[in-house]
Amino acid sequence: MKFKKILSCFIALLLFSCIFSTAVSAEEEYAYDMEYYSRFKGQNITLYVYNWGEYISDGGDDSLDVVKEFETLTGINVEYTTFDSNESLYAKLKNGGAGYDVIIPSDYMISRLAEEGMLQKLDYSNIPNFEKYVDEEFKNPEYDPANEYSVPYMWGTVGIIYNTKYVDEADVTGWELLWNEKYAGKILMFDNSRDAFAIALKKLGYSMNTNNTDEIREAAEELGAQADVIQAYVMDQIFDKMVEENAYIAPYYAGDYLTMSEDNEDLAFFIPDEGTNLFTDAMCIPATSVNREAAEMFINFMCEPSISAANSDMIWYSTPISAAKPLMDEELASSEIAYPDEELLANMERYVNLSDEAKQLMDELWITIVRSNELTPSFWITVAIICAAALALVFRNMYVKKKRLEARKKY
């Protein structure tokens, strides 16, 4: 009996020792390189970072404040602002409205910015974590084949989010759900041309990367016909509308669905049978940046496994760094929505940069056909009411003025 007790204690001690040594080795393996991160301390550098809204671990819900962690570690100040679409990011850069040092656009926009000379080439000797941690499948992508301009940040898929309380499961098959008149007034749509056209093109059986102008025009007609059932064109507004059940159906990103489902358990997500977009958002340095090396340090920091894990845990998007997975929430790391199987991935397309002709046509049609359909009967009724009220006010003022003049003549 005494021997058994001694043996049990020995085994317990051995197990504890193994666990402790594993934890220590993991901590040592992923420890910050302090010599590297201290290079700019005391130099009063400020970096201007431009990212998607709600797309970083910001200290909320007891999460790590990634920006503050970087500032403390490096002594570099960070001015952090957000955008809501690739197109708004492009417009801001094109118009020279801001001097950003790090931006995080999506794949197709990266190739467009690179082609137009709006990005700096990266010096990977200043980004050692790229080679060390970024998964091979995310290196040399179609949008940056020589890995000259970008380092992947997060990736994901586009699908349809719907409310199971109000949407019949029999209707949940493909992209046509976004055109279903049964749910008119409760359907949301992307508020950017690239994603909206991609959905219409997939619904028609075409590639979302087509440069065929006839196919693009046909997709525009589909989007025009959809206007009668659309409640609103949205981006970040989708969170409140879907969680608060002001809308029942919307196309959006898998990571945002996982976030929304935490606040409304009746929300569900599916990838349409016709296939969808597989996207990557990546970190780049604009050509106008004057702090390239410090910007590369920020990019390197975002590739630290512990930082990538913190960001993924907060925003529920998929990380391109497998070394981060053991440090992440287990539910997310094993989620089939965040990490779809090979069969689903095989039926997806990555965006590529379209021809100038196709881009221009798409943008023009988005404005002239899709946006014009926002002028619905209810819009004109509202305009008529406002005009009638304005005319009534004008006539009233004229009447009052006339009475005053008549009163003065009497005296």
E-only strand ranges, 148-198: 151-163, 187-190
- What predicted TM-score, i.e. pTM, was given to this entire model? 0.80
* Contact call for residues 352 and 209 (beta carbons, < 8 A): yes
Q: Express each pLDDT in 229-277 by its tens digit.
A: 999 999 889 999 999 999 999 999 999 999 999 999 999 999 999 999 9
Instruction: Show the CA angle centred on residue 116, arms to residues 113 and 122, nearest 5°.
Output: 55
Q: Express each pLDDT in 338-388 by its tens digit.
A: 999 999 999 999 998 899 999 999 999 999 876 666 554 444 444 454 556
> Which one-letter DSSP state was computed for residue 32?
-
The DSSP bridge partners found for residue 103 are 50, 284
Give the separation between CA 141 and CA 183, rounded to whole angstroms: 39
Please choose, from the candidates 320, 304, 308, 257, the residue with its C-alpha nearest in 3D space to the C-alpha of residue 73.
304
- Is the model more confident about 109 or about 409? 109
pLDDT value of residue 96? 81
Tokens of 342: 């090979």
Give the separation between CA 67 and CA 52, rounded to whole angstroms: 14
The C-alpha torsion from 89 through 90 and 96 to 102, rounded to 10°, is 50
Which whole number is the average pLDDT over 205-229? 96
Which whole number is the average pLDDT over 42-63? 95
- CA–CA distances in Å: residue 276 to residues 199, 207, 221: 8, 10, 20
Q: Express each pLDDT in 293-344 by its tens digit.
A: 999 999 999 999 999 999 999 999 999 999 999 999 999 999 999 999 999 9
Please choose, from the candidates 154, 191, 156, 178, the residue with its C-alpha nearest in 3D space to the C-alpha of residue 272.
178
